[in-house]
Amino acid sequence: MLRVANLLFAGVVCLAVAMIFVVVNRSGQRDDSRITHDALAEHDVVAKVAPIDSQADGTGQEFQPGSDAPRVSTTSATQHPIIIRKPSGPPRIELAGTDPQGRIGSVACSTCHHVRKPNLENKSPATLDEFHQGMTFNHGSIACYACHNPADSDALRLADGTKVAYENVMTLCSQCHGKQAESFAHGAHGGMNGHWDLTRGPQMKNNCIDCHDPHAPSYPKMIVGFKPKDRFNGPLSDDHHHEGAESHDDH
Amino acid sequence: MTTTEPTTNPSLPVLENFSRRAAVKAGFATLGAGAFAAAISPLRQAAKNTSAAEFMQTHYTELSPEQKADVLARLETETKEKYNAEVTIADDRPIPGTKFVYAINLSVCNGNGKCVEACHKENNHDRDTNQSYIRVIEMPKGTMDMEQGSTTYSGAVPKDDKFYLPVQCQQCDEPPCVDVCPVKATWKEEDGIVVVDYNWCIGCRYCEAACPYHARRFNWKKPEVPAKELNPDQSYLSNRIRPVGVVEKCTYCLHRTRRGKLPACLEACPTGARVFGNILDPNSNIRWILEHKRVYILKEELGTKPAFFYYFD
């Protein structure tokens, strides 16, 4: 019995020592790994090329061509452009009817306006005797020919009479909306796509008339489509009910 | 143990029968058994739903480049098994010399919520809950008090007496969420992005409570995303599918922005209210805005120093 107890005691002592050893060892290891973990970025920055490349090799990442090594060497060498979308050209008027062969067609502005005398005073489609009568117009109180060119109806004109192609409509808008144009030039007005870092890729920007109808430029109202379902908010239907009840109380 | 004859001594009959040696043995035996049980207790969870490799990553993380590659490869395989989709998970590191900053033009934002939806799709959020890192708050004009706002508005926007305040992670320079994490599963990187290691997070949600912007989300259940809707372009610290029971947050789309691209919420914005860039670049858009516009910081008095600005023009 004594022998067994002694063996048991020895076993327990060994186990306890082993446990302590494991715990100490493990906490040390864990500290190490945490340090590695936190300082991961530094390691990667210090040893910039090797770890990233080897890792990309290992996993076959598609971003490898754009990884750090080539970028650093070509920072100033390749600057991608900022591409501002442009209208394709002068607008064309779709014909209401079809030609004898049954084809639909479109005509240039100059097809009619070449032979019509321009009315420089006109400000509203309501005062037109034919054509363009269904248009909505809500752009201050300027006349049609403030922007459209009476001399060349397939182009626009600036306030000083300079002819501007439809493609360069932003030059025209910027005459009055200089504040917006300045913000646009600094990325603070108008949407964009692509890259923030022009050393890695181009950036595509909208032009004025992508978002603003030149004849009624205020940005239209939108309908909210997507809503997260937060647990603390409850179902949206309850909310509607609540709103309804509230407005009822007001009446 | 063999001496069990009754004694007349009233004090502690059981112990009295042991020698001192036996008592010490028994004490150590109890201690040893307890220590052993405590030491192997993590193994009880290990058996459930985790591969050996995942278990080892959680508890004995080792991060040589080769091992990191192994982890990424394993995560890709697991996504293939669980979601039946081919994805690539990269480990995008900060670009040296960048600090990412975001700005939103509150004069332009109309609360349409396209950014919320874009975030949902880009970051592989759970489809059922419509989860997203962004909430747009409809605010009465004349105040910046978020308590007066509502996130559940609907219908045609903008409403005349309201303005719209999109809120997401502000990537604070003094992030309270990082301070409270008991296991250091979340930290701030060199380019300013506060990230979470989803395999290190224990899901205690302290960070969620600490964040004054409600920028963190907890995965109450396994995210369900159909394979064809899954964004395959993933990163370890960003939009890879998160396991259940961990906290996640906006990373400024680091799987895009650290490759030079713009964040998904910015590209989705139809009003052009969002601006993103590197504040260390003196010619960047963001610098021009900070120098020329009326710029606000959310809850500035808390001293969190956000890398996120709101401006009016």
**Which range scores top for mean pLDDT: A96-100, B41-45, B85-89?**
B85-89
- A55 domain residue, yes or no: no
In one-letter notation, the amino acid at residue B132 is S
B184: contact with A, CB 8 A cutoff: yes
ipTM score assigned to the predicted complex = 0.75
- B39/A19 Cβ within 8 A: yes
Q: What's the whole-number average pLDDT of chain B? A: 89
Strands (E) in A66-123, as ranges, are 82-84, 92-94, 106-108
Q: What percentage of chain A's residues is helix, strand, coil (to nearest 5)?
A: 45, 10, 45
Q: Are strands B194-196 and B186-188 parallel, antiparallel or unpaired?
A: antiparallel
A182 shares a domain with A87: yes
Model pLDDT, residue A94: 83
- A203 domain residue, yes or no: yes
In one-letter notation, the amino acid at residue B155 is G
Q: Residue A21 is part of which domain span?
A: 1-37
Model pLDDT, residue B55: 63
**Of the listed ranges A172-181, A212-221, B64-73, B292-301, the one predicted with least confidence:** B64-73
A203 shares a domain with A123: yes
* Tokens matching residue A239: 């909310």
**Of the listed ranges A237-241, B96-100, B216-220, B236-240, the one predicted with least confidence:** A237-241
Half-sphere exposure of A57 (CA within 13 A, CB side): 8
Model pLDDT, residue A25: 78
CB contacts of A54 in chain B (<8 Å) are 65-66, 69
At residue A240, does pLDDT exceed 60?
Answer: no
A124 shares a domain with A32: no
pLDDT mean over A26-43: 47
Half-sphere exposure of B51 (CA within 13 A, CB side): 11
Separation between Cα atoms, residue A130 and residue A133, nearest integer Å: 7
- At residue B98, φ and ψ (nearest 5 deg) are -125, 145
pLDDT higher for B289 or B22? B289
pLDDT mean over B204-223: 94
* Tokens matching residue B38: 């405590």
Summarised one tens digit per residue, pLDDT across range A93-119 is 888 788 788 888 888 999 889 888 888
- B91/A189 Cβ within 8 A: no
Q: How confident is the model at residue A74 (pLDDT cuts 50, 70, 90)?
A: very low
**Of the listed ranges A37-41, A228-232, B210-214, the one predicted with least confidence:** A37-41
Summarised one tens digit per residue, pLDDT across range B16-36 is 666 888 889 899 999 999 999
A110 shares a domain with A27: no
Give the C-alpha distances (Å, rounded to integers) separating A112 from A109, A118, A130, A149: 6, 11, 11, 14
pLDDT mean over A32-60: 38
Separation between Cα atoms, residue A184 and residue B106, nearest integer Å: 16
| Contacting B residues, span 26-85, partner chain A, CB-CB under 8 Å | 28-29, 31-33, 35-36, 39, 60-63, 65-66, 68-70, 72-73, 76
Q: Are B165 and B148 in contact (CB under 8 A)?
A: no
**Of the listed ranges A188-202, A226-240, B267-281, the one predicted with least confidence:** A226-240
Q: How confident is the model at residue A243 (pLDDT cuts 50, 70, 90)?
A: very low
Model pLDDT, residue B197: 94
Model pLDDT, residue A1: 58
- A59/B73 Cβ within 8 A: yes
Separation between Cα atoms, residue B265 and residue B113, nearest integer Å: 10
**How many angstroms separate the CA of residue B7 from the nearest CA in chain A?**
22
CB contacts of B1 in chain A (<8 Å) are 1
B63: exposed, middle or buried (C-beta count within 10 Å: 0-12, 13-18, 19+)? middle
Place of tokens 């420089």: A120
A128 shares a domain with A205: yes
**Of the listed ranges A132-136, B178-182, B202-206, B212-216, the one predicted with least confidence:** A132-136
Q: How confident is the model at residue B275 (pLDDT cuts 50, 70, 90)?
A: very high
Its pTM stands at: 0.71
At residue B240, does pLDDT exceed 50?
Answer: yes
A190 shares a domain with A128: yes
pLDDT mean over B103-126: 95
The reply to whether omega before A202 is within 30° of 0 (cis) is no
B194: contact with A, CB 8 A cutoff: no
A120 shares a domain with A198: yes
A33 shares a domain with A91: no
A114 shares a domain with A21: no
What is the sign of the dihedral through the CA atoms of A178, A183, A184 and A189? negative
Nearest to B68 by CA among A44, A64, A1: A44
B122: contact with A, CB 8 A cutoff: no
A89 shares a domain with A7: no
- B189/A194 Cβ within 8 A: no
Please name the residue of chain A whose CA is at the shortest distance from the CA of residue B66. A55
- A164 domain residue, yes or no: yes
A120: exposed, middle or buried (C-beta count within 10 Å: 0-12, 13-18, 19+)? exposed
pLDDT mean over A86-92: 89
- A14 domain residue, yes or no: yes
pLDDT higher for A106 or A29? A106
Domain count, chain A: 2
At residue A36, does pLDDT exceed 70?
Answer: no
Q: Which residues pair with A117 in a beta bridge?
A: none
- A157 domain residue, yes or no: yes
Separation between Cα atoms, residue B118 and residue A161, nearest integer Å: 44
| Contacting B residues, span 243-272, partner chain A, CB-CB under 8 Å | 257, 259-262, 266-267, 269-272
- A181 domain residue, yes or no: yes
Model pLDDT, residue A159: 92
A130 shares a domain with A12: no
Model pLDDT, residue A131: 83
Model pLDDT, residue B191: 94
Summarised one tens digit per residue, pLDDT across range B57-69 is 655 555 678 888 8
Separation between Cα atoms, residue B118 and residue B140, nearest integer Å: 25
- A112 domain residue, yes or no: yes
Separation between Cα atoms, residue B22 and residue B38, nearest integer Å: 24
pLDDT mean over B93-116: 95
- B91/A55 Cβ within 8 A: yes
Strands (E) in A76-150, as ranges, are 82-84, 92-94, 106-108
Q: What's the whole-number average pLDDT of chain A? A: 76
A169 shares a domain with A87: yes
Which of A227, A236, A240, A247 has the highest number of chain B CBs within 10 A, making it the mutation to test binding with B? A227
- A111 domain residue, yes or no: yes
**Of the listed ranges A45-54, A160-169, B95-104, B215-224, the one predicted with least confidence:** A45-54
CA dihedral of residues B30, B32, B37, B40 (deg, nearest 10): 180
Q: How confident is the model at residue A244 (pLDDT cuts 50, 70, 90)?
A: very low
